[in-house]
C-alpha cells in the first residue's frame, strides 16, 4: 500500500497524519481525499506541491503518476521567505 502524508492543515481536516491507500494514481488518491472532505473544503487546501518518493509530480506524469505499494506521497505547502 502506498503511504500518503498530507500537509498539516489537511491532516487536521481529515484527522490523520498518515493514510495508507491502494489508489492506482495520484489523481485517484486526491479523489479519495476530496470525497472525504468535500470539494469546497478541498478548494481552500489544494495549493500545494505533491511529491512521490521525493520527486515533484510535475516532473513525473502529473496527476496520472502511478502509485505502487511501496510509494510515499507527500503533500507540502510551498513557502518563501526573506
What does the domain layout of the chain look like in residue ranges? 2-76
Give the model's pLDDT for residue 77. Answer: 87
Using CA atoms, how far apart are residues 53 and 31, in angstroms rounded to an integer? Answer: 20
The residues, any chain, with a CB within 8 Å of residue 67's CB and separated by 6 or more, are 2, 21, 23, 24, 25, 26, 28, 29, 52, 73
**Parts of the chain with a pLDDT under 50:** none
Give the model's pLDDT for residue 81. Answer: 67
pTM of the model: 0.89
Selecting from 3.10.20.30, 3.50.30.60, 3.30.499.10, 3.40.50.300, what CATH number does the domain 2-76 have? Answer: 3.10.20.30
Give the model's pLDDT for residue 82. Answer: 62
Give the model's pLDDT for residue 35. Answer: 94
Give the model's pLDDT for residue 47. Answer: 82
Specify the residue for cell string 511529491. Answer: 51
Using CA atoms, how far apart are residues 36 and 13, in angstroms rounded to an integer? Answer: 10
Give the model's pLDDT for residue 43. Answer: 86
Amino acid at each position: 500500500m502506498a503511504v500518503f502524508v498530507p500537509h498539516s492543515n489537511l491532516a487536521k481536516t481529515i484527522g490523520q497524519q498518515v493514510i495508507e491507500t491502494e489508489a492506482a494514481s495520484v489523481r485517484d488518491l486526491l479523489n479519495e481525499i476530496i470525497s472525504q472532505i468535500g470539494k469546497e473544503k478541498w478548494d481552500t487546501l489544494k495549493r500545494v506541491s505533491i511529491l512521490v518518493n521525493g520527486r515533484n509530480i510535475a516532473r513525473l506524469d502529473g496527476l496520472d503518476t502511478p502509485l505502487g505499494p511501496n510509494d510515499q506521497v507527500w503533500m507540502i505547502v510551498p513557502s518563501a521567505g526573506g
